[in-house]
Structure 1
Amino acid sequence: MANQIYKQIISFLLCVLLIQYNIVSSVQKSFSLEKPCKHFVFYFHNIAYDEDNAANATSSTILNPMGLGDFSFGKLVIVDNPVTMDQNYLSKPVARAQGFFFYTGKTNFNSWVSWTLVFNSTQHKGTMTIMGANPIMESTRVLSIVGGTGDFLMTRGIAMFTTDLIQGNKYFRLKIDIKLYECYY
C-alpha cells in the first residue's frame, strides 16, 4: 500500500511539473539575434561644464580625484544630454540621456556607462536603459540595453556606440545604433 501511495505522489508531482513546463514554454518569447525587432539610430550630444557655460552644459563632473593617473581614473560625470535623430545639436531631441559615467581605466581611457534614454515625443514614450563598459579608444563599442518602460517595456538588445565628433574637451557626439531583440510592443 505504501508503494501505491508513493507512485500516486510521484505521478502527481510529474503532472504538476509537466503542466508548469507547458505554461512556461508557452509564455517564453522567442527572438532571433539575426533580425532585431526594432532598430534605431540616434545621436547623443554632450557639452561638458567648464565654469563658463553653465547655461549650455549637459554634463558635469561631480567627483574628480586628483593624482590617480593620466586617464581620469575615478572621475564621475552626471549627464542630461539631448538625443537627436540627426547629427545637428539644434535638432529637436527625441529623447534625453540621463544618468552617469565614470572612468575606470588606470592605464587607458575606459568608462562605465549607466544611462536611461527618456523618450517623450509624439513618436515614442517611455524609457530604455543602457549599461556597460565603454572602452573609449575603440572605434565601436557595444553596450547592453537591459530594460525599459512604456513603448520599450522590458526590452533587451544592444547599443553600438561610435564616436562621431570630438571638439576639444567641451563637446563630443556619439552615434548610437540600437538594435532591440526582445520587444513586447
Structure 2
Amino acid sequence: MAHCSNEGIKEVEEWFQKLPNAKEKVTKLHFFFHDRFAGEQNLTAVRVARASVTDTSATQFGLVSIMDDPLTEGFEPTSKEIGRAQGLYAFSGRDEMSMLMAMNLVFTTGDFNGSTLTILARNPAGPPYRELPIIGGSGVFRLARGVALAQMHEFNLVTTGYAIVEYDVVVIHY
C-alpha cells in the first residue's frame, strides 16, 4: 500500500508554482466505514486511554480509541476495500454522547491510491446525519477542503462491538 508521496521537494515546489493557473476540482466519494471496537478478534479500534469517570459515564466521557478501520465500496464488510480510516476518536461529551474525530482517510486503490483526506470534527451520536469538515489532504487531494456527511447504519455497543457508517464526501481540490 502506498501511503505517501513519491514526490520530493523539487516536484512539490513545481506543483505550487503552477497553482495560480490550476482549476479547482470537485470530487464526490461514497464509501462505508467499518469499526470493530469490541470482541476477541479482528479489532480495528482499540482503547488507549480512559478517565476515572469513564466507566460510570452514560456517554463514555473520557474514553480515547485509536483506529485503523477499513473503508469499503459497499455496506458488507467483505466488499472491496478502497482504503483505511486511521486516527483517533475521543468521547468528549459529558452530557451527550459525542466524539472528537481526528482521522485520515487513506486511499489504497484506484485513482486516489496513496492520497489522503483529513477530517477534524465533532461527531455527535444523536443526529441521523453528521457533517464532518475536511481540513486538508495529500497526493491528489493536496490543499483539499470539503465536507463528509456520515450516516450511522449499524452500531452495537453491547453484543457485537461493531459500527458501520456510510460516508458521502464532497471535496474541493486542485
Structure 2 counterpart of 1:76, one-letter code? V
Residue 160 of structure 1 deviates from its aligned partner by 0.6
Larger radius of gyration: 1
1:152 maps to 141
* Residue type at the aligned position of 1:81: D
2:166 to 164, 169, 175: 175
Higher strand proportion, which one?
Answer: 2
Matched, 1:163 2:152: yes
What runs of 5+ residues in structure 2 fail to find an aligned partner?
1-18
Offset of residue 70 of structure 1: 1.8
Q: How many Å apart are 1:132 and its aligned residue?
A: 0.6
Tell me what 1:74 maps to. 62
- Determine the C-alpha separation between the residues in 2 that align with 1:28 and 1:163: 40
Q: CA RMSD in A?
A: 1.9
Q: Which of 78, 84, 104 is matched with 1:96 structurally? A: 84
CA contact (8 A) 1:80 1:99 kept: yes
Give the Cα–Cα distance (whole angstroms) in 2 for the partners of residues 122 and 113 of structure 1. Answer: 26
Q: TM-score, normalised by structure 1?
A: 0.75
Instruction: Specify the SS of the correspondent of 1:123.
Output: helix
Unaligned runs of 5+ in 1: 1-25
State how far apart, in whole Å, the 2-side matches of 1:29 and 1:139 are: 37
What do the CA deviations read for 1:38-97 (whole angstroms, capped 9, x no partner)?
1111100011144x22xx110011112232522111100100000011101011210100
User: Which one is further off, 99-108 or 123-132?
Assistant: 123-132
Instruction: Kindly indicate whether the alpha-carbon contact (under 8 Å) linking 1:73 and 1:106 is maintained by their aligned counterparts in 2.
Output: yes
1:29 Cα deviation (Å)? Answer: 7.2
Partner of residue 10, structure 2 = none
Give the aligned residue type for 1:105.
G
Q: CA deviation at 1:30?
A: 7.7
Query: Contact 2:53–2:61 (CA<8 Å) still a contact in 1?
Result: no
TM-score normalised by L of structure 2: 0.80
**Higher relative contact order, chain-length normalized (CA < 8 Å, sep 6+):** 2
- Find out whether 1:108 has 2:96 as its counterpart: yes
Q: Is the contact made by 1:49 and 1:61 (CA closer than 8 Å) also made in structure 2? A: no
> Within the alignment, does 1:59 sit opposite 2:45 as a pair?
yes
Among 22, 27, 32, which residue is 2:20 paired with?
Answer: 27
Query: How far did residue 167 of structure 1 move?
Result: 3.0
Q: Hey, which bits of structure 1, 4+ residues long, moved more than 4 A?
A: 28-31
Residue from 106, 109, 123 that aligns with 1:121: 109
